[in-house]
Structure 1
Amino acid sequence: MLVSFAREFHHLAEALSGSQTLEEGLILKLASTIRGDVCDEDTVRQVLEMLADAARQVEWRDIFGQAGLLATCSHSLHPEEPENTLKQKLRLIGNCCADNDSNRDIVIETECYEKLTCVTTAALPLQPLVMVVIFNFMNEYEPAQRHAFKHGLVDLVTKILHEEDKNQPLAIEYALRCLELVLQSDIPLGDKASGLITLLLGWATYPTIQFDIFYIILSCLLALHKEEYTEAFNSDPSPVLNYIKLMARLQYWEDQLSNDPELPDEIDKEDVTRLIRGSRSSTITTVSEISASESFQDQFPTGSAFLNSIVQLLASSDSTLLTCAALILGNMARDPETCDALIREYQPHLSLVNVLKEQTQIGVLHAVGGALKNLVIGSPAIRESVIQAGILQYCHKFYLASVMVEVQHMGLSLIRILVAASPGNAECLFLPLEHDASLSAIEHILQLYAKNTEVPIRMEIGRIVVSILREAAKLPSTHPTRISLQHKTSDMSPLILEPVIDMLIQDKWPVVASEGWFALALCVQTPRGASAVADLTLPERFFQVLRQAIYQKSDRSNFPELTPPEKPRPGPEHLDSKASTQSQKDRENALMFLSGFLKHNTSEAPRNYTTLLQRFLDGQEVTDALIKETLGVN
C-alpha cells in the first residue's frame, strides 16, 4: 500500500474486507478520489482497483450504487484519461452492473453507455474490456438492451466485426453476445439486418473460428432469419454463396462434436445439437427463398461459375449440401426455357436420379424430388431418360418416408408426371425391380396404398392408375403396348382399381372425382376391363355418387374446380360455368361406364351390382334404401 494512500484512506482496505458498510466521510473521500480532485493518478488507480475488486461481491455492488460511487465513476469516465485509470473505472462499472438492475439504471441515467462506445475507438487495447462491461450492463435486462440499441449498439458491433483481428476473439465474442441479447429481445433492426447477416456469414465460414464464437453466431443468424430481414436478398442474392459455405461448416462442427464431445462448461451438448439443426433448417429455407427470387437467375445464369459449382455439389456425400443444390436447381426450373437451358448445359436430371440412388435422408429426397418434378414439367422430353436412368428403382425411398407425408406425395406425383404422355414409361411401372424381382414399381405403390390412410396419398395413387389407363387408351386398339397395359392392369385387379373408387367417393376434390369417372369409363370398354371392375367390392357410397353424377343432384355442387393458388381465381359466374361443364362430363363418363360394364362384363359378377347398374342405366329411381337392400347392408 502506498504511503500517500495509507495516510488518507488507512481503513479503506479494512472496510472493504469487513462488514459491507462505508462511513459517510469515507464515501465522500472516495468520490473525490474517483473524480481525481485531490489525489495523484497512481492513488486514483489504486483506489479504483480496490473498489473494482470489491464489486465482484454482490453485497458491495448495491452499496457502491446507493452511495453514489458508481454514478461518480460514470460521470468522471473520459476516453482521454490514462489507460490504467480508465481500465479500473471500466472494471468498477462492469462489476457493479453484473446482475444488478438498479446499478444498470444508474448507467442509463448518467449516460455512461455513450461514453463506453467512445472508449472503444479512443483506447483500442481496452476494447475487449469495454464489450464485457456492455454485456454485463445489458444481460437479462431489457431496458438496458433497448438503451444500448438506441445508442448505436448494432453499429458498434458491426464496426468491431469489420475491424477486429479474427485471432483476437474476446472483443468479438462479447460484441456478438451483446448482439444476441438485442436479437433475443425482438427489437426491430430495420435495414441494418441484411448487412449484419452478410457480416455474420463471413465470420461463421471463417475456417479457424473457435466453436464458442461460432455457436453465438449461429444463435444470431437464427434470430435474423425472418422474412422481413432476408427479403433484401431477393434483389441481391449474393449471400447465397456464403450460405452454402455455412452448410458445410455446420456439418464440420457436427462431425467434430460427435468425435470429440468436449464443450465449454457453459454450453450444453443438447442445446448445441438443437441449435445446429435449427440453423440448418433455417439456412435451407433461406437458400430456397433467395434462389426463388427473380434476380437470382439474372445474377447466376446457366454457365456461371456459381451455378457450375452448385451442379457439382450433386456429387457430394453431404446431405445438407445436396439439399441446397437440389433446392436451388428446383427453384430455377420454373419455366420451359430455363429447364431446357439447364438440361442442355448440365443434364441435372441424371445427377438427381443418382442422388436418389445414394441417399435416404428425408430432406434430400424432398428437395431432389421437387427439382426433378419441376424439370420434367418444364422439359417433358426428358421423361424417358429419367426412367431409363433408373428412377423407378429408388422411388420406394419416397414411400418409406412415413414421417413426412409431403415426401411420399412428392414421389407419387413425380411418378404420375413421368407416366403422363408416355405409354412406354407406364409399361415400365410393371417391370420387376432390380433390388426385389418379386415386386414391380406399381406393386410397391399399391402396397403403400394398402398401408396408408392419408387421403392425399391415396388420391395420388389413384391418379397414377388413371394415367396408366389414359396412356393405354391413346394407342391404337391393336398396339402391343396398349394390349400389354390393359392385360397387366386387369391381372392386378381388384387392388389396382381400388384407388380409383376412392377418388370417386371422396368429396373434397371434384376434379379428382372426375378423373375417376373417366378412368372407369375407359376401363370397361373391353371384356377384361369390365371383369376387373366386377372383381371390386363396391361400397354403398359408390352407388350414391353414381346417382349424383347421373341425375346431377350433387351435394358437391358448391365445390368449384380447384384453381392453383398462384393464379387469379375466376369470378363466381365463371366458376359456375366450369362446375356445370365438369358435371356434364361426369354424367357422360358415368353413363359410358354403365353401358360399357353391362355390355362387356362376362364374369360371374355379383347379381346385385348388375341389378343396380341396370336400373341406373334405364333411368329408374335408385333410393338409399334400395341400395342398402340390394347390397345387403343393415
Structure 2
Amino acid sequence: MSFSGIEQLFTSPPEEEASRTNALRQAEATASTLWESSHDSPDLQTLAQKAGDAARDELWRTPLGESGLLAFFCRLIDTDGLPSQLAIHTLRVIGNSCADRDENRERVVASGCLSKIVSRLADDSLVAIAIPVLFNICVDYEPAQKALYKAGINPALVRIISSPRLENASPVTSIICRLLILVAPQEPEDGLVDSTTPFALLSLAMNTKFPVDLEDFLGLTSVALTYLFKTQFQETFLQTPNAINLAFRAFEKVCGEGGDSLNTSEADGDDQEELKQVQLAFIQTFAELSGNDLFAPLCPLNGPEAQTLQAWISMRKPPLQSAACLILGNIARADAVCTSLVQNARVHEPLISILRDPSHDTDPQLLHSVLGFLKNLAIPAANKPVLAAAGLVDILPRIWAFDVQPQIQFDAASLARMLLVHCPETVRLVCAPPATSDEEPKSALQLLMDLHVRSDQEPTKMETARAAAMICRVLHSGSLDNAGGVASKSTALPSLQEFYDTRHPALMDALVYLGLQDKFPALRSEFLFVLALMARSPEGAGVTARLLRQDARLMGVLVKAVTGQEFQQEEDDEDDEGVDKNKEEGPRNSADAIAALGLEGLNLEAPQAPEQATNISRAPRNSSVPNPDRENGLVLIAELLARCPTELSPSMRTTFTSIFQTEGKQLSNNKSDAQE
C-alpha cells in the first residue's frame, strides 16, 4: 500500500471490519518497509500519528490488533534510539489500541515490551504520554497488572514522585496514583518494590503543591498502609526523617482534623465507607508499627509525637483516641514510662473520662484501646492506687455489665484484677460498700463476682477468679503487701471478721473455679498459696475448711499437689455423728505441728507470678528441688489440722494427718539432705 493509500484509508475507512483489518495488514507491510529504509522516516512518523489518532475510535482497535500493526509498534517501542516524536506516536498507538480491549492488552503483554515502556518513564519528554499508556494497558486487566509489576513500575513511579520530576508529571499525577494502587496487591519482591514506597505515597497524598482529590488521597494512603503493615517496609520508614509525623498528619487529615483536613462534604456513600476503612487501616497499622523496636525511641515522652498522641486522647474523635491509646500503650512497655505517664502527664484522667461517657458504650474499638492502655499503665505498683483512686473502681462495674460485648467485659475484668495485685488501697475500694441509695447496694467486689457467675466466657471467668484470689491474698497478708512494700496505715482494709461476715458466696465459687481449672498450672499454684495463707488466720481457716469439704475435687487438687497421688474419696457419716468434736484430733496449732515433725523450715512459698510462669516445676517426691505446691499444701494441711479440726470431716482429718506425717517427714529429710 502506498503512503497516499494509507492516508485515504484513515480518512475514509471501509465499513466492514474485515476490510479494515486487511487494509491495515498492508499498512503494516508499508510501515516495516519504511522502518527498514530509515529509522527517521517522516512518512513512518506520519503513519504512526494517523494510526494513533485512529485508535481513539473503537472501530479501529480490533483491526489494529488482528492486522499485526499493533505488534509492529510494540517491536518499535522496544528499539533503542527511537526518535522522540516517533516514540510518542508509537506509545499512542499502543495505549489507544488497548482501551477496553483485553485481546490487545494480551498482545502487548505477550510482546514483552512493557519493560521498555516502563524504562521510557526516565525520559521527562515521554512521562506525560507513557503513564496513561501504561494505565490503559493494565486497568481492569490483572495479567497486565502482574506483568507491569514485574517490569518494575513501582520503583520507576516512586522515583518520579519522590523527586523534583513530579512537577513535570503533575498533569498525570492522578494516573500515577492509580497505577501504584493497581500493582500494590502483588506480593513484594526484592528489587520490584522501592523500600521507600510508603513514605513516598504518604508524601504524595499530603503534597500541598500538587494536591490530590479525595479518591486519590484515600487510594494512596490505603496502599501506603498496606505496605507499612509488612515488616520489611517498617524499618526504612521509621528511619526516614519526619516519617512518623507525616503519618500522624495524614491520619489527622483522614479524621477531619488539622489545617488541611479533607473536604468530604460532597463525598458519596462509597467514599464515606472507604473513609472509615482507611481510618481503621491507619489504626491497625499504627498498632503494628508502634510495636516495632525502633518506634519507641523515636517517640520520647517529651517529644512532639508523644505530645500529639496525648492531645488526641482529649479530642472527641474516637479514631484518633483509639490510635493514641494503641500507640502509647506500645510505647509504655517499661515501668518508668508508665509511671511518668500517670504521675507526671496524668494521661489516665482523659482515659477515665472516655470510659465514664455513655456515648462511647457502643464503640468497642475505642473501649478496647482505652482499657488495653490502662492495663499497661496499671502494671507498676506505684500507679495502681493512683488509678484506683482516680475513679476506675467506680467506673469499671458499669462496663462489667456489657454482656453483649464479651471482649470489653474481659478487658475490664482484667484491668480490675491488675489494679488489685498487691495493692491494699484498691482492695479497700473494691470491698467498700457504695455510697448509693439503692435498696440493695452492692460493692464493686460483689458486682465483679456477679460477673463471674454470669459470664460464660472462660477468659473472663479466669480473670474474675484471679481477682478473687488476689483480694484474699492482700487481706490475709497483713501490713506487708508481699511485693516488698508496706501498706499505708491509712489504707484501712476491712478486718477479716468484717470481710467474712459480709456474705461473698460467689467469691468462694470463684476460688473453686481457679483451683479446679487445669489449663494453667501457675494459676492453680496461686490458688494453693492463697488457701494456705487464708488458713493461717482463724477466720480464713474455717472458710478454707468448708471449701474443701464442700467440693471433693478440691481435696483431690490438694492431695495430688502434696503426694503426687490421686485422692480416693471415703464415705463420711452425715454431720459426723458419733464423732467427739471436742476430742483433739491434731496439734494445738500449726507451729506445734511443724515442731513436732522437725519441720521448722516449712514456710509458705510464694509461687512465681503467672505472667512470668509457663509451668510450675513438678519435682519428684524424693527430690531436693523445691516444689512450692507441695510445701504450700503441707502448710495448708497443718493449719487446718491445728486451727479447725472440727470443721473437717473424719475422712479429711484422717487423710490430712496421714499426709502430714508421711509427706512432712519426707520433706524434712529432703531439706536436711540438701543442707548437708
Report the TM range for the smaller structure's normalisation: 0.7 to 0.9
Once the two structures are TM-superposed, the CA of residue 389 in structure 1 deviates from its matched residue by 1.0
Letter in 1 for 2:374: L
Given the superposition, is the C-alpha separation of residues 541 and 172 from structure 1 closer, same or farther in structure 2, using an over 3 Å criterion? farther
Rounded to whole Å, the distance in 2 between the matches of 1:39 and 1:311 is 67
Q: Which moved more, 1:428-437 or 1:584-593?
A: 428-437
Cα deviation 1:155-203 (Å, max 9, x = unaligned):
2211332347699876233223322333212242569454101111223
Given the superposition, is the C-alpha separation of residues 483 and 304 from structure 1 closer, same or farther in structure 2, using an over 3 Å criterion? closer
Secondary structure of residue in 1 paired with 2:300: coil
> Residue 628 of structure 2 is aligned with which of 582, 585, 590?
582
| Structure 2 residue aligned with 1:63 | 63
Q: Are 1:440 and 2:452 matched, yes or no? A: no
Given the superposition, is the C-alpha separation of residues 543 and 563 from structure 1 closer, same or farther in structure 2, using an over 3 Å criterion? closer
| Structure 1 residue aligned with 2:470 | 467
Letter in 2 for 1:383: K
> Residue 53 of structure 1 is aligned with which of 49, 53, 56?
56
Given the superposition, is the C-alpha separation of residues 506 and 568 from structure 1 closer, same or farther in structure 2, using an over 3 Å criterion? closer
Is contact 1:320–1:364 with CA below 8 Å preserved after alignment? yes
| Structure 2 residue aligned with 1:244 | 248
| Structure 2 residue aligned with 1:223 | 226
Is contact 1:466–1:516 with CA below 8 Å preserved after alignment? yes
Q: How does 1:151-300 map to 2 (within 5 A)?
A: 151-162=151-162, 163=164, 171-189=172-190, 192-206=193-207, 209-224=212-227, 225-233=229-237, 238-252=242-256, 262=268, 272=274, 275-276=277-278, 279-290=281-292, 293=293, 295-300=294-299
Given the superposition, is the C-alpha separation of residues 303 and 160 from structure 1 closer, same or farther in structure 2, using an over 3 Å criterion? same
Secondary structure of residue in 2 paired with 1:462: helix
Letter in 2 for 1:375: L
Rounded to whole Å, the distance in 1 between the matches of 2:564 and 2:556 is 12
Is contact 1:52–1:88 with CA below 8 Å preserved after alignment? no
Given the superposition, is the C-alpha separation of residues 473 and 479 from structure 1 closer, same or farther in structure 2, using an over 3 Å criterion? farther
Secondary structure of residue in 2 paired with 1:301: coil
Q: Which moved more, 1:590-599 or 1:561-570?
A: 561-570
Once the two structures are TM-superposed, the CA of residue 570 in structure 1 deviates from its matched residue by 11
Rounded to whole Å, the distance in 2 between the matches of 1:331 and 1:74 is 53
Q: Which moved more, 1:169-178 or 1:568-577?
A: 568-577
| Structure 1 residue aligned with 2:323 | 324
Q: How does 1:9-408 map to 2 (within 5 A)?
A: 9-22=7-20, 24=22, 27-29=25-27, 32=30, 40=43, 43-44=46-47, 47-54=50-57, 56-57=58-59, 60-77=60-77, 81=83, 88-98=89-99, 100=101, 103-104=104-105, 106-108=107-109, 112-117=113-118, 119-122=120-123, 124=125, 127-139=127-139, 144-162=144-162, 163=164, 171-189=172-190, 192-206=193-207, 209-224=212-227, 225-233=229-237, 238-252=242-256, 262=268, 272=274, 275-276=277-278, 279-290=281-292, 293=293, 295-343=294-342, 345-358=344-357, 359-360=360-361, 361-378=363-380, 380-396=381-397, 398-400=399-401, 407-408=408-409
Q: Are 1:430 and 2:431 matched, yes or no? A: yes
Rounded to whole Å, the distance in 1 between the matches of 2:193 and 2:17 is 49
Once the two structures are TM-superposed, the CA of residue 106 in structure 1 deviates from its matched residue by 4.2
Letter in 2 for 1:160: I
Letter in 2 for 1:376: A
Given the superposition, is the C-alpha separation of residues 170 and 582 from structure 1 closer, same or farther in structure 2, using an over 3 Å criterion? farther
| Structure 2 residue aligned with 1:605 | none
Rounded to whole Å, the distance in 1 between the matches of 2:8 and 2:540 is 112
Unaligned runs of 5+ in 1: 556-560, 602-608, 622-634
Cα RMSD over matched residues?
Answer: 4.4
| Structure 2 residue aligned with 1:517 | 528
Is contact 1:497–1:533 with CA below 8 Å preserved after alignment? no
| Structure 1 residue aligned with 2:587 | none
| Structure 2 residue aligned with 1:558 | none
Cα deviation 1:326-371 (Å, max 9, x = unaligned):
2333223223333444455423333433343344433333333333
Secondary structure of residue in 2 paired with 1:474: coil
Rounded to whole Å, the distance in 2 between the matches of 1:563 and 1:228 is 35
Rounded to whole Å, the distance in 1 between the matches of 2:400 and 2:625 is 34
> Residue 548 of structure 1 is aligned with which of 560, 570, 573?
560
Is contact 2:468–2:511 with CA below 8 Å preserved after alignment? yes
Aligned length: 592
Is contact 1:94–1:132 with CA below 8 Å preserved after alignment? yes
Given the superposition, is the C-alpha separation of residues 99 and 174 from structure 1 closer, same or farther in structure 2, using an over 3 Å criterion? same
Is contact 2:65–2:104 with CA below 8 Å preserved after alignment? yes
Given the superposition, is the C-alpha separation of residues 21 and 413 from structure 1 closer, same or farther in structure 2, using an over 3 Å criterion? same
Unaligned runs of 5+ in 2: 481-488, 568-606, 661-676
Once the two structures are TM-superposed, the CA of residue 243 in structure 1 deviates from its matched residue by 2.7
| Structure 2 residue aligned with 1:627 | none
Letter in 1 for 2:633: R
| Structure 1 residue aligned with 2:588 | none
Given the superposition, is the C-alpha separation of residues 351 and 71 from structure 1 closer, same or farther in structure 2, using an over 3 Å criterion? same
Q: Which moved more, 1:13-22 or 1:303-312?
A: 13-22
| Structure 1 residue aligned with 2:584 | none
Letter in 1 for 2:502: D
Rounded to whole Å, the distance in 2 between the matches of 1:570 and 1:510 is 6
Identity of aligned residues (%): 22
| Structure 1 residue aligned with 2:514 | 503
Once the two structures are TM-superposed, the CA of residue 581 in structure 1 deviates from its matched residue by 0.7
Secondary structure of residue in 1 paired with 2:19: coil
Rounded to whole Å, the distance in 2 between the matches of 1:435 and 1:31 is 96
Structure number having the greater helix percentage:
1
Once the two structures are TM-superposed, the CA of residue 324 in structure 1 deviates from its matched residue by 2.5
Given the superposition, is the C-alpha separation of residues 31 and 533 from structure 1 closer, same or farther in structure 2, using an over 3 Å criterion? farther
Q: Which moved more, 1:163-172 or 1:219-228?
A: 163-172
